[in-house]
Amino acid sequence: MNVPMLDLSEQYEQLKPEIMRVLDEVMRSSRFILGDYVKKLEADIAAYSRAKHGIGCGNGSDAIHIALQAAGVGPGDEVITTAFTFFATAGSIARAGAKPVFVDIDPVTFNIDPAQIEAAVTEKTKAIIPVHLYGQMADMEAIAAIAKRHGLVVIEDAAQAIGAKYNGKCVGELGTAATYSFFPTKNLGAYGDGGMIITNDDELAEKCRVIRVHGSKPKYYHHVLGYNSRLDEMQAAILSVKFPHLDRWTEQRRKHAATYTRLLEEAVGDLVVTPKEVDGRYHVFHQYTIRAPKRDELQAFLKEQGIATMVYYPLPLHLQPVFASLGYKEGQLPEAEKAAKEALSLPMFPELKEEQQQYVVEKIAEFYRHSA
């Protein structure tokens, strides 16, 4: 049996007639830039997130960068974030001219550890970027309290967490703003790049809108240095077709996660550590990520059995060569470094079949029987 990490083909076949219809509509309208579907998606995603504003942009990385610039983050500032996430989080901080300050993670959730944040605050700290990794929100009440004490901006990187909740609060409700990615692999994915900023801050929202169009308002009058980073109209049309299915797809992901956990506990006990949904959190399982001894050997074995897996992420950000000048050393953030050696994400998508999951778990159990 072959089990892909992600298979979008069945989803596409189900939605193909409607997707073809809206793409034809966009083509006939000839409104390709910031048209009606962008406006509709911005309104829909904002309402879904209980936010006043949605600002579509070119991708999730630009969303973080634009939000930081709109919040006044720039050269000389420091931004505290997690060491265990995709590069775009820290890359966006650096592109804004600020210094990324990395702190360690909570080993249970893989998310930034609020207990580590306060000690990292200096007089140069301007913002905190918590990342809601794998689909579960970070401890936002604790993070918001730290931000309030120190007068800091909070930009939530929710690229993997659309629809996630924290004690009933949506992504973005406890921060200054939040950012989404619509990269094709995401829970709500386009057929290309796309991103969005959501916020309840009127002034920040207007600044984001100006920055995404070369900093111009009105057109051809430029007051700030902006970018060409607009959500594509055809991608917005595709996302508008997919968006009404998001909650159903999320429930399917959660069902698959529960199945994985049950099967793994039955097959290997506590030999691997399964994801934990913290009380009060609503996990949307962008990824189902286990901690596995002999992780690399297990991954190679599963590949031989036709099972795709991914390591998110093999090298924490504080040890990336591009950030060597920041002076971090191995051993400085031990939980992030340990996670980078143990984390393994199993196949996860709404259309995943239980027999595929059974096969994955059977092969994991087989590997540990033989390796013992």
Sheet strand arrangement including 169-170: 169-170, 165-166, 281-282
Q: Of these residues, 99, 126, 169, 186, which one is catalytic?
A: 186
- Which helix (H) or strand (E) segment holds residue 157: the answer is strand 153-157
Annotated active-site residue 207? The verdict is no
How many Cβ atoms from other residues are within 10 Å of residue 8's Cβ? 15
Q: Is 80 exposed, middle or buried (0-12, 13-18, 19+ CB in 10 A)?
A: buried
Pairing of the two strands 53-57 and 125-129: unpaired
Distance of CA 328 to the CA centre of its chain: 24
For residue 368, what are its two tokens? Answer: 């540990």
For residue 159, what are its two tokens? Answer: 């690229």
3-state secondary structure of 14: helix
How far is Cα 322 from Cα 42, in angstroms, rounded to an integer?
Answer: 34
How far is Cα 331 from Cα 99, in angstroms, rounded to an integer?
Answer: 21
Active site residues: 186
